[in-house]
A = this chain, B = another copy of it.
Amino acid sequence: MKKFVNDPESVVREALAGIAAAHPELRVDLEKQIIVRSDAPRNGKVGLVSGGGSGHEPLHGGFVGPGMLDAACPGEVFTSPVPDQILAATQAVDGGAGVVHVVKNYTGDVMNFEMAAELAGDEGVEVHTVLVDDDVAVEDSTWTAGRRGTGATLIVEKVAGALAETGASAAAVAAAGARVNEGGASFAGALAACTTPAVGGCGFDLPDDEMEVGVGIHGEPGRRREKLRPARDIAALAVDAVLGAKPLSAGSETIVLLNGLGGTPLIELYLLYGEVAALLDKAGVRIARNLVGNYVTSLDMAGASLTVCKVDAELLRLWDTPVRTPALRWGV
């Protein structure tokens, strides 16, 4: 296994130390393993907390700051955080107006956040939860753990964070987040698996001429394997999957995220974005805003995901408000 690490067991803690050094404007608690906005808790402001396994950076720690998250709790690599951590983050940002948890829909995340919410409730902190489940590669049926939370998480966190900044109630912040999730759909493909620090190996091995279609962000195998195809075919596959699962009427306004999974160069992401934009245009979908880059990653996986999120004027306005975090910044 070839990685810039000292010891696989201490990767998350040591990376947190690096985040602390790089971002003095954040409060990083190495003991509790949480990253907190330095001015938290703010009286009367809803606290916004997210978290999940590490290995998806900049998600979530890179989105902590004014206009977005108040705190993030990174678990071990690809392992959801534990209730203690989530509780510590929740308490650190509770300004008396309640706390909203943004939780990606994975069994482990859901259970650990639920336990933490219960503990927080015992301590008198009202917790609302937004569940993100935008990955349409997974069927949304009672026969599965449900759709995974992936790229739309960033949009949920930005929009909910913007609303929280205005002094809105926890219920309203959670509702806005849920509305984003409702309108969001994602689909990912991979050309090569990732390498986790603890295991070294990969979740799957791909022959040189094949790709995994419908992958998640945890190195797990995808829904199926296909022959590798040109970028334009892969873009069409993703656009079809996304629009197939959540059809958009012509003229719909969207935010589009063309996201790298960590090991794909930006030049390829832009190339893919060009294909996607042309296809969406042909489908009558309007791209009001876009992001191209590595935002919700899967360590060094060579792959990309497309997120298309239907937005109305209010959500778009919330997207546009100033944000100042390590990985997303504008207007300030």
Chain B residues within an 8 Å CB radius of A268: 3-5, 11, 15
Residues of B within 8 A of A267 (CB): 11-12, 15, 54-55, 57, 77, 299
Is there contact, CB below 8 Å, between B4 and A273? Answer: no
A41 CB to closest chain B CB, in angstroms? 25
Complex Cα distance, B273 from A22, in Å, reads 7
A300 in contact with B3 (CB, 8 Å): no
Interface residue tally for chain A (C-beta within 8 Å): 65
> Whole-angstrom distance between the alpha carbons of A12 and B270 in the complex?
10
Tell me if A180 is interfacial: C-beta within 8 Å of chain B.
Answer: no
A294 to B267, CA, bound (A): 12
Minimum C-beta distance from A102 to chain B (A): 20
Q: A4-B231, A192-B2, A263-B300 are in contact. Are A18 and B272 (CB under 8 A)?
A: yes
- Interface hits, A274-300 → B, CB 8 Å: 274-275, 277-278, 287, 290, 292, 294, 297, 299-300
B231 touches A22 (CB 8 A): no
Q: How far is the CA of A4 from the CA of B234 in the complex (A)?
A: 8
Contact A277 B2 (CB under 8 A): no
Residues 248-283 of A contacting B (Cβ, < 8 Å): 258, 262-275, 277-278
B residues near A272, Cβ cutoff 8 Å: 4, 18
Q: In whole angstroms, how far apart are the Cα atoms of A17 and B269 in the complex? A: 11
Given contacts A18-B270, A18-B292, A332-B331, contact A6 B265 (CB under 8 A): no
Residues of A within 8 A of B (CB): 1-7, 11-12, 14-22, 54-55, 57-58, 62, 77, 191-192, 206, 208, 211, 228, 230-232, 234, 258, 262-275, 277-278, 287, 290, 292, 294, 297, 299-300, 302, 304, 326, 329-332
